[in-house]
Structure 1
Amino acid sequence: MPRFAANLSMLYPELDFLDRFEAAARDGFQGVEYLFPYAYPAQELKARLDANGLQQVLFNAPPGDWDAGERGLACHPGREAEFRAAWARALDYAQALGCPRVHVMAGLLPTGVSREAARAAYLGNLRHAAATAGERGVKALIEPINTRDIPGFFLNRQDDAHAIVEEVGSPHLKVQFDLYHCQVVEGDVAMKIRQYLPTGRVGHFQIAGVPQRHEPDVGEVNYPYLFEVIDEVAASSGWDGWVGCEYRPARGAVPGGTSAGLGWLRARQG
């Protein structure tokens, strides 16, 4: 059975962020992920992880000016020094939290910049990220994101992401395979799991129901079947990663709403 990690940026929205660790552990999660750790001292986050027996499995590198609409720096020519400083900060947090994966957000295609120029900057930044991640025992991840949720995002498709990982050619760079984003952009998700998971390039999965990004048992995707596909392919390929639950609870911030919506997880746990 896949190992599931609670995304604390989305789950338990009725609770203060630091209280979500305990709630996730109480619901049976053994791992957590979230967007960004940087609003909190690393030692405070580590204390919450340790107190609740949780593993930090993923977070994102600093994205630039999030409040101004930036969604990553990696594809921005001319901002390489800013990217490197942000990546160094991410690696410091990863080491302090014992987190083995950090997502490098590609960013929006900059206005007036060609895709070719943006791709060249992206590749250069990823080579740096992979090399420095390897020195810390961390994997850098890239994630295709659909342009409905983030219009203008540079990386949108699985085939593009895997081609980039191959071109960079580092064992420390992997693909973050979000099944929700893949369904919105491409579909044929089960076959893509079968195609890409055996390559060794998939570092992490994420899930959410489609189209509303609620629980995985709500919407058009048959997640029980996809979990069986992951189990089957993982058994033959040796993959032993995590599946991040990056969805918005259908009950919103109603107290206990996240826990009430975890019937799909309890069914998996038997």
Structure 2
Amino acid sequence: MKLAANLSWLYTEFEFPDRLQACAEDGFQHAECMFPYEYCAELLRDKANEAGVTWVLINTPAGDWAKGDRGLASSPARRDEFKRSIELASEYANTLGVRKVHVLAGAVNLGEAASVERAWACYEKNLSWLADSTIGGSIDWLIEPINRNDIPGYLLAEQAAAHALIQRVDRPNLGVQMDLYHCQRVEGDALDALARYLPTGRVKHLQIAGVPNRDEPSCKGLDYSQVYLQLKALVYTGHIGCEYRPKGATRDGLGWVRQTGFSGTMESFES
């Protein structure tokens, strides 16, 4: 297991490129972010190299976030835009050395059954196209169930739906990104979900945050000391993205790493 600092959420007291050095100083050797596209990919690569940090995950462009876009993959009218977003994400991933890219599904009007059906069909078609057009490459493309309290109308909310979709498309370069915060909010038993889905091999990335407030992981709400033991028992060896909203300055709240047992995932952690 390897903890990765999500630099869209952590160390926001620093300018984005400088967050790489900040997280390295606290013992993180891996980083992820939502959208790196505001910055030159070469700059972010070089900053990571200087800090001794490895980029492990980014998201595909979501469209116009300010206007309500939350992904393009399920919109039949925007397939060309979706394909261009994949080109851009691929360029950044290749420059940064990223091997995991989260493909945002998008939000829909859940009250319109016909629109929801079209969105699911488009989503599956786009994922099939994506997997086939990049087969043999270095990137795994991931889908993530997200709770609809945080993102109203998000198409993909349940773990079962994500795994069923990946099984139907059945390509080796597709997988599931399992965020335990979202999982607990939607399904209520993230530990059970881990036991059910991690052995399938379809989960290729994990993320964590405290429940219910999406702050530092703790032993309350969702008990992350139990999560750590569960992951050890299941022999999970992948990355775990720390995608939470710190209550204050990021490094002031890092005591959770030691309290929950996750300090064993960082080679040089100082509480």
TM-score normalised by length of structure 2: 0.92
* Contact 1:4/1:29, CA 8 A, preserved across alignment: yes
String of CA shifts for 1:16-60, please: whole Å, max 9, x gaps.
111110010011011101111111111000001100111111110
Distance 1:96 1:224 in 2: 36
Letter of the aligned partner of 2:239 in structure 1?
W
Mapping of residues 115-126 of structure 1, within 5 Å: 115-126=116-127
Tell me which moved more, 104-113 or 49-58: 104-113
Distance 2:65 2:219 in 1: 29
String of CA shifts for 1:203-228, please: whole Å, max 9, x gaps.
10000001111000164110011111
| Partner SS for 1:243 | strand
- How far the C-alpha of 1:77 sits from its partner, in A, is 1.0
Identity %: 47
- How far the C-alpha of 1:140 sits from its partner, in A, is 0.2
Instruction: Tell me the residue number matched to 1:65.
Output: 64
Q: Which of residues 237, 242, 245 is equivalent to 1:240?
A: 237
Q: Which of residues 218, 229, 250 is equivalent to 1:258?
A: 250
Letter of the aligned partner of 1:220 in structure 2?
G
String of CA shifts for 1:92-117, please: whole Å, max 9, x gaps.
11111100000000000158652211
| Partner SS for 2:76 | coil
- How far the C-alpha of 1:78 sits from its partner, in A, is 2.2
Mapping of residues 105-184 of structure 1, within 5 Å: 105-109=104-108, 113-184=114-185
Gaps (5+ residues) in structure 2?
265-271
Distance 1:56 1:200 in 2: 22
Distance 1:226 1:30 in 2: 21
| Partner SS for 2:13 | coil
Instruction: Tell me the residue number matched to 1:269.
Output: 263
Count the aligned residue pairs. 260
How well do the aligned residues superpose, as a CA RMSD in angstroms?
Answer: 1.4
Task: Specify whether residues 132 and 27 from structure 1 end up closer, same or farther in structure 2 by C-alpha distance, changes over 3 A only.
Answer: farther
Instruction: Tell me the residue number matched to 2:269.
Output: none
Task: Specify whether residues 218 and 70 from structure 1 end up closer, same or farther in structure 2 by C-alpha distance, changes over 3 A only.
Answer: farther
Instruction: Tell me the residue number matched to 2:102.
Output: 103
Letter of the aligned partner of 2:83 in structure 1?
R
Distance 2:46 2:219 in 1: 34
* Contact 1:75/1:118, CA 8 A, preserved across alignment: yes
Distance 2:258 2:221 in 1: 20
Instruction: Tell me the residue number matched to 2:188.
Output: 187
Distance 1:260 1:134 in 2: 43
| Partner SS for 2:244 | coil
TM-score normalised by length of structure 1: 0.93
* Contact 2:219/2:225, CA 8 A, preserved across alignment: no
- How far the C-alpha of 1:135 sits from its partner, in A, is 3.5
Distance 1:146 1:211 in 2: 12
Distance 2:127 2:120 in 1: 10
Instruction: Tell me the residue number matched to 1:254.
Output: none
String of CA shifts for 1:50-90, please: whole Å, max 9, x gaps.
00111111110011111111000111112111101111110
Letter of the aligned partner of 2:252 in structure 1?
A
1:10 aligns with 2:14: no
* Contact 1:109/1:115, CA 8 A, preserved across alignment: yes
Distance 1:190 1:48 in 2: 36
